[in-house]
């Protein structure tokens, strides 16, 4: 017997490196009318590197001590930024103290007990809210200044706090995927509107990257639930929305979307499980290809 068009399209998508989880999903891919893209790990390669290590003057920490402290707290995390921090410490040959009582908050950062002190590593805008108004106001102002300087340069700034007091800032940078701009353009042509960017990262770095790939609508500083809200708004406006993401923070948005697509290599287990389709071969440009495939298959079905 000849294979039904949607099943045959699934096989073809597989050859292009996209795992489509069902015939229903294969059909839904072609119905996409709007696309929301994640930044880190989706538009970028997802292998960020630490570029700047800045201990605050009053912290008494050297660059190495700051990096080792941050890496100890980040060690249990699977976030790409955490891997960047741990790799940077390893590259410098730093010994990491064990972390206890590790917790992580998607879109915010991590906390852990390191050498008896509570260490927090994460988004400056989120952590500094707690530090302002406390005894560490000066350190908070200094850290905020350092962070915005790094963000103006397109970096993701990560704040390091010990016992609630800012002790330093790390600058982290990730490379744009080579096919990011072409994919944004192709998705725009296929859906009739330019994709939007939804990211937990800071607005300065996000806007800079968006300009490079041709995205105008940038939503930054989003928590996982805010990404869901952005998707729900598009859906309410009558547009079947595709979300492309990679992280734990994207899982709720992937679930809320008409079709959720996860980037496989950088992707967290939760994102891969939640998504309707997975980009197994690490090429963003395969997403518009499978949308076109779906449309061709549906013409054969009806």
Q: Judged by CB, which is closer to ligand ADP: 6, or 123?
A: 123
Give how many residues touch Mg ion by CB under 5 A.
5
For residue 44, the minimal CB distance to ligand ADP (Å) is: 8
String of contacts with ligand ADP for each residue 121-160, x by CB under 6 A = xxx--------------------------------x-x--
Q: Is 302 exposed, middle or buried (0-12, 13-18, 19+ CB in 10 A)?
A: exposed
SS (H, E, C) the chain: CCCCHHHHHHHHHHHHCEEECCHHHHHHHCCCCEEEECHHHHHECCCCEEEEEEECHHHCCCHHHHHHHHHHHHCCCCCHHHHHHHHHHHHCCCCCCCEEEEEEECCCEEEEEECCEEEEEECHHHHHHHHCCCCCHHHHHHHHHHHHHHHHCCCEEEEEEECCEEEEEEEEECCECCCHHHHHHHHHHHHCCCCEEECCCCHHHHHHHHHHHCCCCEECCCCHHHHHHHHHHHHHCCCCEEEEECCHHHHHHHHHCCEEEEECCCCCHHHHHHCCEEECCCCCCHHHHHHHHHHHHHHHHC
User: For the chain, what is the radius of gyration of the CA atoms?
Assistant: 21
Q: Give the residue, chosen from 54, 79, 155, 177, that forms a contact with ligand ADP under the rule CB under 6 A.
A: 79
Total residues interacting with ligand ADP, rule: CB under 6 A: 23
Interface segment toward Mg ion; rule CB under 5 A; list 111-119, 181-189, 215-223, 245-253:
245-253
Rounded to whole angstroms, how far apart are CA atoms 98 and 161? Answer: 17
Shortest approach of ligand ADP to residue 279 CB, angstroms? 15
User: Is position 77 an interface residue for ligand ADP (rule: CB under 6 A)?
Assistant: yes
Closer CB to Mg ion, residue 171 or residue 247? Answer: 247
Q: 246 is written with which tokens?
A: 């990679």
Q: Which is nearer to ligand ADP, 43 or 293 (CB)?
A: 43
- With CB cut-offs between 5 and 8 Å by kind, which of Mg ion, ligand ADP, none does residue 171 bind? none
Interface with Mg ion in residues 28-87 (CB under 5 A): 38, 40-41
Looking at 38, 174, 201, 250, which residue is catalytic? 38
Which residues, 267 to 286, sit near Mg ion by CB under 5 A? Answer: none
Site string for ligand ADP, 260-279 (x = CB under 6 A): --------------------
250 is catalytic: no
The residue within the footprint of Mg ion, chosen from 247, 252, 264, 288 (CB under 5 A), is: 247
Min dist. Cβ of residue 11 to ligand ADP (A) = 31
Q: Which lies closer to ligand ADP via its Cβ, residue 39 or residue 177? A: 39
Residues that bind ligand ADP (CB under 6 A): 38-41, 74, 77, 79, 81-82, 107-110, 121-123, 156, 158, 199-201, 247, 249
Catalytic residues, by residue number, are 38
């Amino acid at each position: 017997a000849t294979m039904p068009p949607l099943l045959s399209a699934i096989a073809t998508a597989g050859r292009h490196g996209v795992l489509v989880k069902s015939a229903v999903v294969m059909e839904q891919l072609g119905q996409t009318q709007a696309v929301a893209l994640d930044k880190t790990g989706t538009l970028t390669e997802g292998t960020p590197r630490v570029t700047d290590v800045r201990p605050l003057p009053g912290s008494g920490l050297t660059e190495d001590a700051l990096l080792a402290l941050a890496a100890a707290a980040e060690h249990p995390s699977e976030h790409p930024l955490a891997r960047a921090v741990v790799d940077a410490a390893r590259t410098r040959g730093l010994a990491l103290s064990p972390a206890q009582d590790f917790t992580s908050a998607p879109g915010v950062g991590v906390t852990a007990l390191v050498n008896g002190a509570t260490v927090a590593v994460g988004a400056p805008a989120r952590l500094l809210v707690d530090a302002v108004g406390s005894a560490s106001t000066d350190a908070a102002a200094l850290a905020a200044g350092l962070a915005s300087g790094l963000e103006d340069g397109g970096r993701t700034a990560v704040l390091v706090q010990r016992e609630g007091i800012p002790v330093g800032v790390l600058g982290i940078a990730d490379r744009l995927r080579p096919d990011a701009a072409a994919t944004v353009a192709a998705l725009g042509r296929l859906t009739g509107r330019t994709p939007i960017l939804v990211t937990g990262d800071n607005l300065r770095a996000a806007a800079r990257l968006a300009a490079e790939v041709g995205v105008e609508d940038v939503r930054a500083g989003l928590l996982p639930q805010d990404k869901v809200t952005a998707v729900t708004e598009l859906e309410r406006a009558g547009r079947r929305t595709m979300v492309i993401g990679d992280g734990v923070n994207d899982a709720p948005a992937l679930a809320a979307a008409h079709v959720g697509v996860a980037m496989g290599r950088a992707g967290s287990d939760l994102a891969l499980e939640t998504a309707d389709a997975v980009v197994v071969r690490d090429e963003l440009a395969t997403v518009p290809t499978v949308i076109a495939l779906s449309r061709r298959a549906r013409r054969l079905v009806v």
